[in-house]
């Protein structure tokens, strides 16, 4: 579905600045049986709202196609990820002196890692997760979870069973939601008068600065910055009152929102706004410069890989996150360059990357095959992945970190 109005300010004035072509759905890893079926490709283009400055995709894929039974992302896969979420729960409870026994609800709660943190601290918890196979794992982890998208129905069920929530969280979910007005309606019904909504999402400024264009894919509908967010929450009678920056996912923002007047607006909100103005991150000229850099990056990465290939080197991809598929598809990296990609998540092993059809194996395959270069697709976890693959490095294996500048790590 083509976007007709800005989801934050409702303006109809856009300007397109980045066209990444047509890509398959980034999380739709293909089982061998589906490899020869017709695969769906959708346009991947980013536009800037001329009114509020929100960067967003101009084509919205039906969410039921994206978050289906096979949705493979498990938030507990990496140690860095688990520690991040446990600490997040503790920090929120301490700072806002959340009462024992009050309710925390997490949207897109995945296998329940964040909610486990809240539960350990004595809160009641409830998850909302549309992927059935992931939801089942959350239940196995002892986290009550409703198999649904966030909306009136799920909210009504929670209100009936548990009452209103003191804390509503969404990590890497808010930027995935198309109808944000409907979202705010549901959030207003669910969260109690003094309650807070805390969400984490990648910061658009980092995407621009660090050339993280691979984080652009169909699930990520909005590329968030503070200026459009402030105006959006204001329109709904809420306030963005605090911002923290986190290193996860290549630089994320943790935003704290509540009903107007509940909490003093902290000084950093204005600092962010001033800085965004200074850095021109809502300026179409800056966006166009970014698009040029993306094109140049594609050439650099392809040249590096093709040179190695010409030398007869064996190259594989390491880790297969959703964003890896934007990079692979846009840079036209397929089985002619990569022998395979490896991945820890069982759910992807034995399948093929969407669009580029590269087979996915466990990490051991790198040693078995005497792979010489590993292209790190989950570059944001580079440190942890390199540490975990000490054997590969000792066997002479080298890592290629693709973003922001392709570089070889020996």
Binding range to Zn ion, per CB under 5 A, among 1-9, 107-115, 241-249, 337-345 = 1-9
Measured CA to CA, the distance from residue 232 to residue 220 in angstroms comes to 18
Q: Measured between alpha carbons, how far apart are the two ends of the chain, in Å?
A: 45
Closer Cβ to Zn ion, 169 or 225, answer by number: 225
Cβ neighbors of 98 (< 8 A, separation 6 or more) are 92, 104, 123, 166, 167
Scanning 28-36, 44-52, 57-65, 68-76 for contacts with Zn ion by CB under 5 A, the matching segment is 44-52
- Answer yes or no: are the C-beta atoms of 180 and 201 closer than 8 Å: no
Taking the complex as a whole, how short is the minimal distance between the CB of residue 12 and Zn ion, in angstroms?
A: 9
Tokens 């990569």 belong to: 338
Interface region with Zn ion, contact rule CB under 5 A, candidates 5-13, 128-136, 207-215, 315-323: 5-13
Residue 11 touching Zn ion (CB under 5 A): yes
Helix H or strand E segment including 256: strand 252-259
Count how many Cα atoms sit within 13 Å of the Cα of residue 195 in the half-sphere of its side chain: 19
Structure tokens at 316: 């594989």
In the complex, minimum distance from the CB of residue 8 to Zn ion, in angstroms, rounded to a whole number: 5
Measured from the CB atom, the residue of 223 and 352 that comes closer to Zn ion is 223
- Least Cβ distance, residue 214 to Zn ion (angstroms): 24
Query: Least distance to Zn ion from the beta carbon of 50, Å?
Result: 8
Is the Cβ of residue 229 or residue 327 nearer to Zn ion in the bound state? Answer: 229
Nearest distance, CB of residue 61 and Zn ion, angstroms: 20
Q: How far is the CB of 171 from Zn ion (least distance, A)?
A: 24
DSSP characters over 212-243: -GGG-STT--EEB-HHHHHHHHHHTTEEEEEE
Q: Which stretch binds Zn ion (CB under 5 A): 4-12, 70-78, 87-95, 105-113?
A: 4-12
Q: How far is the CB of 322 from Zn ion (least distance, A)?
A: 25
Residue 51 or residue 353: which is nearer to Zn ion going by CB? Answer: 51
52 vs 207 by CB, closer to Zn ion: 52
Tell me 168's DSSP state.
E
Phi, psi dihedral angles at 209 (to 5 degrees):
-65, -40
Q: Give the start-end residues of each E strand in 260-379.
A: 315-318, 341-342, 360-361, 373-376
In three-state secondary structure terms, 88 is: helix
Inter-residue contact 333 to 312 (CB < 8 Å): no
Q: Which stretch binds Zn ion (CB under 5 A): 45-53, 180-188, 196-204, 323-331?
A: 45-53
Regarding 5 and contact with Zn ion (CB under 5 A), the answer is: no
- Number of residues counted as binding Zn ion (CB under 5 A): 8
In the bound state with Zn ion, the residue whose beta carbon lies nearer, of 8 and 221, is 8
Cα–Cα distance measured from residue 338 to residue 333, given in angstroms and rounded to the nearest whole number: 7
User: Quick check: 98 binds Zn ion (CB under 5 A)?
Assistant: no
**Binding map of Zn ion across residues 46-75, x = CB under 5 A, - = no contact:** ---x-xx-x---------------------
Among the candidate windows 9-17, 248-256, 286-294, 307-315, which touches Zn ion by CB under 5 A?
A: 9-17
Between 227 and 365, CB nearer to Zn ion? 227
| Paired sense of beta strands 191-202 and 145-146, if any | unpaired
CB atoms near residue 208 (< 10 Å):
21
Task: For residue 84, give every residue at least 6 positions away whose Cβ sits within 8 Å of its Cβ, in sequence order, or none.
Answer: 246, 248
The only residue of 9, 139, 268, 401 in contact with Zn ion, by rule CB under 5 A: 9
**Span near Zn ion by CB under 5 A; candidates 43-51, 94-102, 351-359, 362-370:** 43-51
Interface residues with Zn ion (CB under 5 A) are: 6, 8-9, 11, 49, 51-52, 54
């Amino acid at each position: 579905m083509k976007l007709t109005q800005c989801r934050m300010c409702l303006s109809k004035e856009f300007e397109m600045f980045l066209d990444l072509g047509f890509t398959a759905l980034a999380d739709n890893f293909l089982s061998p049986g589906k490899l020869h079926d017709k695969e769906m490709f959708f346009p991947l283009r980013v536009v800037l709202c001329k009114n509020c400055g929100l960067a967003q995709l101009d084509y919205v894929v039906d969410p039921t196609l994206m978050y289906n039974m096979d949705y493979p992302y498990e938030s507990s896969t990496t140690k860095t990820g688990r520690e991040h979420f446990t600490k997040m729960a503790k920090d929120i409870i301490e700072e806002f002196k959340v009462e024992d026994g009050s309710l925390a609800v997490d949207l897109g709660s995945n296998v329940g890692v964040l909610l486990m943190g809240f539960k350990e601290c004595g809160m009641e918890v409830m998850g909302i997760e549309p992927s059935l196979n992931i939801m089942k794992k959350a239940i196995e982890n002892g986290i009550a979870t409703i198999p649904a998208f966030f909306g009136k129905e799920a909210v009504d069920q929670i209100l009936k069973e548990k009452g209103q929530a003191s804390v509503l969280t969404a990590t890497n979910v808010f930027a995935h939601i198309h109808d944000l007005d409907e979202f705010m309606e549901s959030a207003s019904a669910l969260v109690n008068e003094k309650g807070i909504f805390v969400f984490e999402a990648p910061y658009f400024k980092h995407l621009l600065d660090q050339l993280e264009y691979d984080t652009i894919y169909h699930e990520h509908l909005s590329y968030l910055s503070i200026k459009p967010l402030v105006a959006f929450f204001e329109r709904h009678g809420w306030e963005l009152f605090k911002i923290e920056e986190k290193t996860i996912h290549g630089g994320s923002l943790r935003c704290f929102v509540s009903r107007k007047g509940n909490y003093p607006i902290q000084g950093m909100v204005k600092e962010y706004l001033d800085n965004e103005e200074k850095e021109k991150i809502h300026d179409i000229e800056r966006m166009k410069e970014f698009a040029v850099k993306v094109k140049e990056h594609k050439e650099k990465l392809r040249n590096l890989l093709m040179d190695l290939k010409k030398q007869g080197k064996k190259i594989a991809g390491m880790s297969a996150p959703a964003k890896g598929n934007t990079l692979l598809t846009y840079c036209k990296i397929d089985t002619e360059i990569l022998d395979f990609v490896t991945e820890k998540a069982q759910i992807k092993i034995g399948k093929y990357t969407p669009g580029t059809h590269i087979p996915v194996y466990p990490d051991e395959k790198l040693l078995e095959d005497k792979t010489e270069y590993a292209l790190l697709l989950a570059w944001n976890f580079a440190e942890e992945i390199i540490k975990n693959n000490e054997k590969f490095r000792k066997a002479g294996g080298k890592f290629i970190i693709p973003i922001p500048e392709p570089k070889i790590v020996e």
